[in-house]
Amino acid sequence: MSLATTSTSAPRPLHSLPGPTPWPLLGNAPQVPRGRFHQQLEAWARRYGDIYQLRLGPRRYLVVSAPDVVGSVLRRRPDEFGRSRRMEEITRAYGFLGLFSAGGETWRRQRPMVLGGLDPSHIRDYFPALLDVTARLRTRWERSAGQSLDLQAELTRYTVDVTTGLAFGHDLRTLEQDGGEAIQDHLNVVLPALYARVLQPLDLPAWLRTPAQRRAERALQGHLQALREAVAGFIARTRTDLEREPALRERPRNLIQALVAARDQPGSGVCDEDVAGNVLTMLLAGEDTTANTLAWLVWLLHSHPQALARAREEVDTVLGGAAGVQSAAQLAELPWLDACVQETLRLKPAGPLVMAQSLRETVVGDVLVPSDAIVVCLLRPAALDARTFAQPERFDPQRWVGGAGAVHAMGSAKRQVMAFGAGPRMCPGRYLALAEVKLAAAMLLACFDIEEVGTPGGGEPAEHMAIVMAPVGLRMRLRPRRRPATAGAAGA
Ligand code: HEM
pLDDT at 350: 97
pLDDT of residue 409: 58
Q: What is the pTM of this model?
A: 0.93
The residues lining ligand 1, judged by C-beta closer than 6 Å to any ligand atom, are 74, 99-100, 111, 114, 163, 281-282, 285-286, 289-290, 293, 349-351, 354, 419-423, 425-429, 432-433
Q: Which atom of ligand 1 is nearest to the CA of 163?
A: 30
* Confidence at residue 58, expressed as pLDDT on a 0 to 100 scale: 87
pLDDT tens per residue across span 339-367: 999 999 999 999 999 999 999 999 999 99
DSSP string, 271-311: -HHHHHHHHHHHHHHHHHHHHHHHHHHHHHHHH-HHHHHHH
Residue-level pLDDT at 397: 96
Q: Whose CA is nearest to atom 19 of ligand 1?
A: 427
Give the residue ranges of DSSP H helices in 384-463. Answer: 410-416, 430-447
Per-domain residue ranges of the chain: 12-491
How far apart CA 98 and CA 65 sit, in angstroms, is: 27
**From atom 21 of ligand 1, which residue's Cα is the shortest distance away?**
427
The CATH code belonging to domain 12-491 is 1.10.630.10
Q: Which atom of ligand 1 is nearest to the CA of 107?
A: 41
Q: Tell me phi and psi for residue 90, to 5 degrees.
A: -65, -45
Strand residues in 299-443 grouped as ranges (E): 353-358, 362-364, 367-369, 374-378
Closest residue to atom 27 of ligand 1, CA basis: 286
- Relative to beta strand 374-378, strand 353-358 is antiparallel
Point out the residues of the chain with pLDDT beneath 50: 1-6, 485-492
Atom of ligand 1 nearest to the CA of 354: 15
Ligand 1 atom showing the smallest separation from residue 100 Cα: 37
- Under DSSP, the state recorded for 97 is -
Question: Quick one: pLDDT at residue 407?
Answer: 67
Pocket test for ligand 1, best of 427, 430, 436, 465 (most atoms within 8 A of CB): 427
Q: How far is the CA of 145 from the centre of ligand 1 (A)?
A: 33
| 379 neighbors 354 (Cβ within 8 angstroms) | yes
H helix intervals, 49-181: 67-75, 85-94, 104-117, 120-125, 127-143, 151-168
- Could you tell me if 297 and 271 are in contact, meaning their C-beta atoms sit under 8 angstroms apart? no
